[in-house]
Each structure stands twice: as structure tokens, then as C-alpha cells.
């Protein structure tokens, strides 16, 4: 594996649906600069989009901060927002169990984040939700763009 770099970067975003796309593009650039593969970039982008949009639509957040830190065996992404307290590590993980045209939208985010991240932790500190997601530098074969099928 090539050396990951830069070791740390952070950026503030307004908590809006429009800023979610900007945040996803920014994190994709950071992941690329760190030398992560496409599968890791996909996993990070998918999880970030899920948590960002949930903070905006359900948590009514006003601002969000995303931090990305390279580690020897992967990358750590922290998402902090000032929305309503919500711990996704305690939310039930809903999984797709049949044909995708037959399922209801909603409730799958926690399961997706569990599937695509190596570890997920949450804390609430000084009025901020802090979700830390850890990702492998190179994802294994059961994760990535082609693995959205039912388990």
C-alpha cells in the first residue's frame, strides 16, 4: 500500500442539502489525495452522504464539520453536527431482505454504515453529535459499489 497523505484535514459546512454534495466531493478529493482506492472512496462517500443528509433532514442541524485523518491501515472520518442528539450506533440496522423494488425507503442508513465502515462510534459533546467512522485503506471484496445486494 502506498503511504497515505495528508495525515489530517478538516472543513466546516453549512448543514444544507446543497452542502451535502459539496462535502461529499471534498471528502472524495481528500480520499484520493490520501491514496485510497475507489472502493474505499465509495464506502466513505456513501456513509458521509447518509449521515450528512440525516443530520440536515432529521436532526435539523445548522452546521457540520468533517475531519479526515489518515492512519497506517486506513482512514478515520469524523462527522460533527449541531443537530438534535442521535446515536446511530444504537439505531436498529434495517437490512434489505428481498427484491429492491419491494422495500420501503428509509431506515437502512445504519445498516449501510455498519457494512461499509470497519468501526463506528458516537459521542455527544458540547452540544455536538460526533460520529467517528473508520475505514480500511483498501476494502475487501464484499464491500464497494457492486455489493449493495441483500446479505
Give how many domains the chain has, as a whole number.
1
Stretch 72-77: mean pLDDT, rounded?
A: 88
We report the CATH number of the domain holding residue 18 as 3.30.565.10
Task: Give the per-residue pLDDT at 53.
Answer: 93
Q: Residue 97 domain-assigned?
A: yes
Q: Residue 109 domain-assigned?
A: yes
Task: Give the per-residue pLDDT at 107.
Answer: 59
**For residue 126, with 0-12 CB atoms within 10 Å meaning exposed, 13-18 middle and 19 or more buried, which class applies?**
exposed
User: Cα–chain-centroid distance for residue 150?
Assistant: 20
Q: Residue 143 domain-assigned?
A: no
Percentage, residues of the chain above pLDDT 70? 75
Task: Give the per-residue pLDDT at 119.
Answer: 94
Residues near 17 by beta carbon (within 8 Å), at least 6 away in sequence: 53, 56, 57
Residue 103, pLDDT above cutoff 70: no
Q: Residue 38 domain-assigned?
A: yes
Which one has a higher pLDDT value, 6 or 118? Answer: 118
Q: Residue 90 domain-assigned?
A: yes
In 23-101, the DSSP E strands lie at 63-71, 74-81
Stretch 36-40: mean pLDDT, rounded?
A: 84
pLDDT digits (tens, 9 = 90+) for 123-137: 999 999 999 999 987
Q: Residue 146 domain-assigned?
A: no
Residue 5 confidence class, pLDDT cut points 50, 70, 90? very low
Domain that holds residue 75: 8-136
> Using an 8 Å Cβ cutoff, are 110 and 94 in contact?
yes
pLDDT digits (tens, 9 = 90+) for 89-99: 887 665 556 55
Amino acid at each position: 500500500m502506498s503511504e497515505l497523505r495528508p495525515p489530517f484535514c478538516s472543513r466546516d459546512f453549512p448543514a444544507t442539502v446543497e452542502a451535502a454534495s459539496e462535502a461529499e466531493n471534498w471528502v472524495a478529493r481528500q480520499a484520493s489525495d490520501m491514496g485510497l482506492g475507489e472502493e474505499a472512496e465509495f464506502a466513505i462517500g456513501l456513509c458521509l452522504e447518509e449521515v450528512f443528509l440525516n443530520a440536515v433532514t432529521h436532526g435539523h442541524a445548522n452546521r457540520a464539520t468533517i475531519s479526515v485523518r489518515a492512519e497506517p491501515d486506513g482512514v478515520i472520518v469524523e462527522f460533527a453536527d449541531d443537530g438534535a442528539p442521535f446515536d446511530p450506533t444504537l439505531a436498529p440496522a434495517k437490512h434489505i431482505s428481498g427484491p429492491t423494488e419491494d422495500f420501503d425507503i428509509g431506515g437502512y442508513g445504519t445498516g449501510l454504515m455498519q457494512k461499509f465502515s470497519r468501526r463506528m462510534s458516537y459521542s455527544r459533546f458540547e452540544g455536538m453529535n460526533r460520529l467517528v467512522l473508520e475505514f480500511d485503506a483498501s476494502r475487501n471484496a464484499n464491500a464497494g459499489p457492486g455489493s449493495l445486494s441483500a446479505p
